[in-house]
Amino acid sequence: MALKITDACVNCDVCEPVCPNRAIAMGPEYYTIDPARCTECVGHHDEPQCVAVCPVECIVPDALHSESRAQLEAKYRVLTGDPERIA
């Protein structure tokens, strides 16, 4: 399942640089996560890095973009161009 940033975001700028898929960008009012690029760090890390660094805990699962681990792995392979590798 992709993640989303809630309106509790304080725009502290710590989540965007840790996203390996470049899924996080500044939105009109606060940071947003592109569900087409979010793999919850599957293939890169053991846990979502944005969640790990967020000081206000405003990054939550996005129920509108529910995906299984297998789907996240497939998305990772497409984004990285690597048909075989999953870390």
Mark residue 55 as left, alpha or beta (left: phi above 0; alpha: psi -120 to 50; beta: remaining).
Answer: alpha
How confident is the model at residue 85, as a pLDDT? 61
Q: Is the dihedral of CA 24, 30, 36, 40 positive or negative?
A: positive
How confident is the model at residue 82, as a pLDDT? 77
Determine how many CB atoms are found less than 10 A away from the CB of residue 72: 19
Name the CATH code of domain 3-80 (choices 3.40.50.11540, 3.30.70.20, 3.30.420.10, 3.30.70.580). 3.30.70.20
Given a cut of 50, the residues of the chain with pLDDT beneath it are none
Question: pTM score, two decimals?
Answer: 0.90
